[in-house]
Structure 1
Amino acid sequence: MTQPSSTDSLPTHTLRGAGEGPVLPLAATTLRPLPFGAVTLTEGFLADLQSSNAATSIARGEAHLESEGAFANFVNTAAGDYDGEYHGPAFEDSEVYKWLEAVAWERGRGGEAPKLDDALTHYTGIVAAAQEDDGYLNTYIQIGDLRSHRYESLGFDHEIFNVGALIQSAVAQYRTTGRADLLQVAQAAADHLSETFGPDAWQTTCGHPVIEMALVELYRTTGITRYLDQALFFLDVRGKATVVDPDGNFDATYFCDRVPVRQTTSPEGHAVRAMYLAAGATDIAIETQDAALLDTMQTQWTNMVESKMYVNGSIGSEWHGEAFGEPYDLPSDTAYGETCAAIASIQWSWRLLLATGDARYADLMERQFYNAVLSGISRDGDSYFYVNALQVRSDAVPDDYRRPITGRLHWFGTSCCPTNLMRTIATIHEYVASTSATGVQVHQFASAHISGEVEGHPIEIAMRTNYPWSGEVTIEILRAPATPFDIDIRIPSWAHDAVLQSEGRAVTATPGEYARITRTWSAGDVVSLSLPFDPVAVPGRDIVDAERGSLAIQRGPLIFAAEHLDQPDGIVLDDVSVAGELTVEHRDDILGGIDTVVVPAVDASGAVLGSVTTIPYFLWANRVVGPMRVWLPKA
């Protein structure tokens, strides 16, 4: 077994990206991500979310992984205990890597340094000790002494996928701490893949993409073009039906292996796999300056949003294969909407946003984060949804642990969603702002301190807001050069009648675009944005059976849902109809005090039966789990 224990064996002076975040393009892009610590969430919703993630989710994640035997898999492998018991599914190694990635990002965010450093040191050590001399690392295969069976089941053994998660974790650790010991393990594993798979070797790939964007980020970190070439190989070998299910339960579509990526017009198959593949393909398009591939990815994104996405941003409508369905096949009560799929979609949109500067990608990131990602975690940060349906009927049966009627669980045998949430929340501030050659862009709204540079000149900005609960945003210049630069502020596509002012002067604010203010700024200058927060009825699409003749309620960025315990006697959510004005009512007795949206419930004759009370969808099931619905039939 290899046992790297320090950074000495890797020439760290050749590495790039210390202090940076998860995505760091080397090639030119329209927008540039800020360094990881350049945005600090100072107070409010997102700051509290990150604090809860650190104190509860990440901390308890370690205990869950310990009790599940995930760490023991590495310890047993390192000890040569090939007859020992393996714990968890074939991809359990990746959960350790994603949790370690979350720890690294939390460390970079300013978390408890000694405690987090100790965790990184300890678990990096047990991972490194388990690696074979030739770079191979997959405890599922190693513990059972199945080394002669390497890569026999690429559809489901996740050997290549696990290396991708390892690389992402190692890159995070290097960028936040400067330590390269885990990066050395990741490079050895990546080198082993390069020797095993390629144009002159085995011409196939993994059933679960992620290696593509991981290898690109390894290239960005090391400057070694072999990793970019390997990512390109894995991208272009896909779509030739080389990945198979020996049991015949899933076909090439499930593995995103039916059609070459460059010929795909809309994501298909397993939704998480498809999103990771799309993100990786976009990374490759950026680094190889492949305009045709980038256009293809934008076409795929557009078709997904228009025909394969729920109103809350969830994707994946089929339980079988956790997959995309046909266009407009979006049932509410049997929606899958896996939390990981929305997270992966955000990763894809961020790459498209950096490449193009198009506001629609930031719009979708907002919609998905507040309504399809945060629904996957409880308010206390200690339990999770795997599946995010848009309706739960009164006779729903908890026949599967993933069913929403079961309620959020503290952990899953397949624990991808908890660890994915941890690393996402630890990095959410990365999506707030970016820079370009001419200025700064504000993509997401949160109370934050933003620092950056434009043409070598330092800039500091303070943003203050109570978003997503209110639409008032103030941006104050704290430091600026004595030369003009742009501040671009995203006007959400839902924000009709937004009011934007710079030093008291009105600025055009077009929904779905960035409003640009160009001037010479001085410390103390203020930009104010007022977004409309009146509730609106989103009409259902006739082409979608579950939406036809119905409305969904949106207020600001939040989609609302009716939960059974807030309704008066006589109103049954399974057959309720609504008509009339939407009104906002603050309720101190619900979830510690929140604004609700109320709409009249009516019978077939139009007579009012009472009021249906709705709450933000992401908050449902935080009290008693029961009937719920997002789409409300119109009378």
Structure 2
Amino acid sequence: MPVAPTRGRLRPLGLDEVTITSGFWARRRHINTTATLGHCHDWMERVGWIGNFRAAAEGRLPKDRRGREFADSDVYKLLEAMAWERGPDAGAALDTITDAIAPVQEPDGYLNTAFGRPGQGPRYGDLEWGHELYCYGHMIQAGVAQTRARGEGALAKIARRAADHVCATFGPGGIEGVCGHPQIETALVELARATGEQRYLGQAALFVDRRGRGTLADPEFGRAYYQDDMPVREATILRGHAVRALYLAAGAVDVAVETGDDDLLAAVVRQWEATVARRTYLTGGMGSHHRDEAFGDDFVLPPDRAYSETCAGVASVMLCWRLLLATGEPRFADLAERTLFNVVAASPSEDGRSFFYANTLHRRRRGTVPPAGTDSPRAESSLRAPWFAVSCCPTNVARTLAVLPAYLATTDDHGIQLHQYTDMDIATQGVALQVRTDYPSGGRVTVGISSSPGHSWTLSLRVPAWTEGTTAWLTEPDGTRRAVAPGTAEVTRRFRPGDEIRLELPVTPRWIAPDPRVDAIRGTLAVQRGPLVHCAESVDLPTGHEVDAVRVDRSAEPVDGPQGTVVVQGELITSDQARDTPWPYRPLDGPTEPPTDGPDEPATPTTAERTGITLVPYHSWANRGPSTMRVWLPTTEPPVSPPAG
């Protein structure tokens, strides 16, 4: 399991306790295993990132080094994914790459291909942008994954030597600094959990407490960019670079849980609450700035400029999972579900060999197909690209899908808790159960008990927050059927083999309206069906139309269409031979028609074609070629005039 706290409200179940058997996530994980891991491996060989280690061992650096200063970290994320995968192919590839890395580690544990050699920058000479500690973080997490999934091996020993080096170099009496990109914190805590060595935890706590005390230089984006503007305990909201902020928050939760620091945990919960309330997209995506990959101000959530980086989605799931384990509160699983289905699942293509880096909610122009053999220099969404010059997202998706079963269920002294729904088998503490469902397409979740201890225990099922305003139903083994509200539904009894519990969730499409403080989407609507956000895509419109022609009728409820689509009623606005007007603004009490094009020319007529409009799950868009797309749809209602007075 990726997170194994020694304290907290809930205990996660590991890969040896949960098996995904079929359904949405089984298909995604199969593609990850059979296509994505090999794709990432091939590309890292092609662009030279794995070759950097061979070049280092052979004394060919810096001349032959390829990629950005943090390229080592993506090799480590791939190794983590391979470690979680149990197949022999992944194990063999892991060993081969590890054999290339091992000779590069120096006697004191230092290991990096971008710094420390003649012609390169000095060790830790650029804590703001060098990413040395960040790279260690991903290496250590890969080593922990190997230890937990396969037993301690060469990679785990390399990671532990690097962690010892970090403690010696940045511990008391050492360099009193932090990395510009948080990540080392979560890794050190997890290594402490895996080994029982508490100095790793102590070093992580030092890094968390040093953050926000001005140890890093002020960058062009401001000190909040890497969360060095104020101490973690004093912050009230997540800000700056979204991935950095979320990784730091996850590390702070880890430290808080292991040290019993309730004040630190409460600070992160407050930051999460404010961020979800004011700075999060409908998809669960985080980060509205392209230039600095950062959170914007409160309610600044433009759909067409949504950055919503895939890595931020992964980091959000990591944070939510930690908060869920610490508190037991289902709201954290709610956001994790939203983000998994609408950000993480949206990144890879159907074949698992191309990816979105950023996840826009409104694509105004049709994308261009990226060259198959060239890495993309840009992260902005157009079409999924096979690789990027900065390719942190494909490997982040790969490691998340590889370990996904460990994010689904937990246990405590009272029983078992189900947080995410897919077909899966669970066996733990004398209990064996099978979950069968067509979720998220359908809403029926059936839990069958095949083995149970002789005493009473509690089965808890999350009732998603998206069911608010509708009715969900729970049927117990004796046939009792009762309505259940969003939150947690519990069944406590002495279960017997053959018992069955059924949860019925109202998976029907619904209109979603935005908070009016989100200026960019005021007056629009979106559609959500269960946990899935839907969108209009131009390939489903009549030839010649783009999504900006769509207007939806809010008085007609969305209905299910074929193959997981949703159909809404609305209009397609068309203009014949449209011409620009001299000025695109007019007084509200002026003429309703735009001015004529000239003394003898009438204004261009605009017509509306009434039609049904097909919406597809957002995670599936752009799999059918170049298209335009939008999630938030204007309505057919005219603008509201101010009251007369």
TM-score with structure 2 length normalisation? 0.89
Aligned residue among 2, 19, 39 for 1:60: 39
The correspondence of residues 81-100 of structure 1 with structure 2, limited to 5 A, is 81-100=60-79
Alpha carbons of 1:595 and 1:250: their partners in 2 closer, same or farther (altered >3 Å)?
closer
Aligned 8 A contact 2:241 2:295 in 1: yes
Partner of 1:505: 480
In 1: Cα distance, 2:221 partner to 2:64 partner = 28
Aligned residue among 555, 559, 583 for 2:533: 559
In 2: Cα distance, 1:518 partner to 1:172 partner = 35
Confirm or deny that 1:600 pairs with 2:600.
Answer: no
The superposition leaves residues 465-501 of structure 1 with CA deviations (integer Å, 9 ceiling, x where unpaired) of: 1111111111000100111000000000112311110
The superposition leaves residues 135-154 of structure 1 with CA deviations (integer Å, 9 ceiling, x where unpaired) of: 1111011466436x111111
In 2: Cα distance, 1:129 partner to 1:346 partner = 35
In 1: Cα distance, 2:546 partner to 2:145 partner = 49
Code of the residue aligned with 1:289 in structure 2: it is G
Confirm or deny that 1:146 pairs with 2:120.
Answer: yes
Alpha carbons of 1:602 and 1:51: their partners in 2 closer, same or farther (altered >3 Å)?
closer
**Higher CA-based Rg:** 2
Aligned residue among 253, 256, 259 for 2:224: 253
In 2: Cα distance, 1:440 partner to 1:354 partner = 13
Percent identity between the aligned chains? 42
Aligned 8 A contact 1:84 1:144 in 2: no
Partner of 1:284: 255
Partner of 2:432: 460
Partner of 2:624: 623
Alpha carbons of 1:408 and 1:607: their partners in 2 closer, same or farther (altered >3 Å)?
closer
Partner of 2:49: 70
Partner of 1:402: 379
Confirm or deny that 1:337 pairs with 2:311.
Answer: no
In 2: Cα distance, 1:243 partner to 1:70 partner = 28
Code of the residue aligned with 2:533 in structure 1: it is I
Partner SS state of residue 528, structure 1 = strand
Aligned residue among 488, 496, 499 for 1:514: 488
Partner SS state of residue 141, structure 1 = coil
In 1: Cα distance, 2:211 partner to 2:458 partner = 42
The correspondence of residues 466-615 of structure 1 with structure 2, limited to 5 A, is 466-495=438-467, 496-503=470-477, 504-511=479-486, 513-569=487-543, 571-579=545-553, 580-587=555-562, 593-601=563-571, 609-615=610-616
In 2: Cα distance, 1:334 partner to 1:83 partner = 37
Aligned 8 A contact 1:317 1:335 in 2: yes
Code of the residue aligned with 1:461 in structure 2: it is L
Partner SS state of residue 228, structure 1 = helix
In 1: Cα distance, 2:465 partner to 2:542 partner = 34
Moved more, 563-572 or 357-366: 563-572
Shift of 1:327: 0.6
Partner of 1:375: 346
Partner of 1:135: 109
Aligned 8 A contact 2:127 2:216 in 1: yes
Aligned 8 A contact 1:163 1:189 in 2: yes
Alpha carbons of 1:602 and 1:124: their partners in 2 closer, same or farther (altered >3 Å)?
closer
Confirm or deny that 1:51 pairs with 2:30.
Answer: yes
Alpha carbons of 1:373 and 1:599: their partners in 2 closer, same or farther (altered >3 Å)?
farther
In 1: Cα distance, 2:118 partner to 2:386 partner = 29
Partner of 2:583: none
Confirm or deny that 1:23 pairs with 2:3.
Answer: yes
Confirm or deny that 1:303 pairs with 2:274.
Answer: yes
Partner of 1:11: none
Partner SS state of residue 423, structure 1 = helix
Partner SS state of residue 139, structure 1 = coil
Aligned residue among 438, 452, 467 for 2:414: 438
Partner of 1:206: 179
In 1: Cα distance, 2:313 partner to 2:607 partner = 38
Aligned 8 A contact 1:445 1:465 in 2: yes
The correspondence of residues 224-373 of structure 1 with structure 2, limited to 5 A, is 224-244=197-217, 248-373=219-344
The superposition leaves residues 203-242 of structure 1 with CA deviations (integer Å, 9 ceiling, x where unpaired) of: 1110000000000001111111111110011111110222
In 2: Cα distance, 1:78 partner to 1:173 partner = 23
Partner SS state of residue 401, structure 2 = helix
In 2: Cα distance, 1:394 partner to 1:421 partner = 26
> For this pair of structures, how many residues does the alignment match?
595
Aligned 8 A contact 2:246 2:319 in 1: yes
Aligned 8 A contact 2:377 2:389 in 1: no
Aligned 8 A contact 2:549 2:572 in 1: no
Partner of 2:400: 424
Partner SS state of residue 515, structure 2 = coil
Alpha carbons of 1:97 and 1:606: their partners in 2 closer, same or farther (altered >3 Å)?
same
TM-score with structure 1 length normalisation? 0.91
Partner SS state of residue 515, structure 1 = strand
The superposition leaves residues 539-563 of structure 1 with CA deviations (integer Å, 9 ceiling, x where unpaired) of: 1211001221111100011000000
5+ residue gaps, structure 2, are: 371-375, 574-591, 593-605, 638-645
Shift of 1:193: 1.4
Partner of 1:37: 16
Partner SS state of residue 494, structure 1 = helix
Partner SS state of residue 520, structure 2 = coil
Aligned residue among 128, 141, 162 for 1:168: 141
In 2: Cα distance, 1:83 partner to 1:534 partner = 57
Aligned 8 A contact 2:80 2:143 in 1: yes
Alpha carbons of 1:85 and 1:250: their partners in 2 closer, same or farther (altered >3 Å)?
farther
Aligned 8 A contact 1:581 1:599 in 2: yes
Alpha carbons of 1:104 and 1:521: their partners in 2 closer, same or farther (altered >3 Å)?
same
Alpha carbons of 1:291 and 1:561: their partners in 2 closer, same or farther (altered >3 Å)?
same
In 1: Cα distance, 2:378 partner to 2:612 partner = 33
Code of the residue aligned with 1:631 in structure 2: it is W
Shift of 1:175: 0.7
Shift of 1:256: 1.1
Aligned 8 A contact 1:371 1:558 in 2: yes
Aligned 8 A contact 1:584 1:598 in 2: yes
Aligned 8 A contact 2:14 2:405 in 1: no
In 2: Cα distance, 1:205 partner to 1:633 partner = 46
Code of the residue aligned with 2:566 in structure 1: it is T
Code of the residue aligned with 1:477 in structure 2: it is I
In 1: Cα distance, 2:78 partner to 2:118 partner = 24
Alpha carbons of 1:471 and 1:130: their partners in 2 closer, same or farther (altered >3 Å)?
same
In 1: Cα distance, 2:560 partner to 2:472 partner = 22
Shift of 1:192: 1.4
Aligned 8 A contact 1:86 1:144 in 2: no
Partner SS state of residue 239, structure 1 = coil
Moved more, 542-551 or 305-314: 542-551
Partner SS state of residue 269, structure 2 = helix
Q: CA RMSD in A?
A: 1.9
In 1: Cα distance, 2:503 partner to 2:54 partner = 54
The superposition leaves residues 402-433 of structure 1 with CA deviations (integer Å, 9 ceiling, x where unpaired) of: 2222x100111111000000000111111111
Shift of 1:353: 0.2
In 1: Cα distance, 2:169 partner to 2:347 partner = 37
Shift of 1:571: 5.0
Code of the residue aligned with 1:576 in structure 2: it is V
Shift of 1:380: 1.0
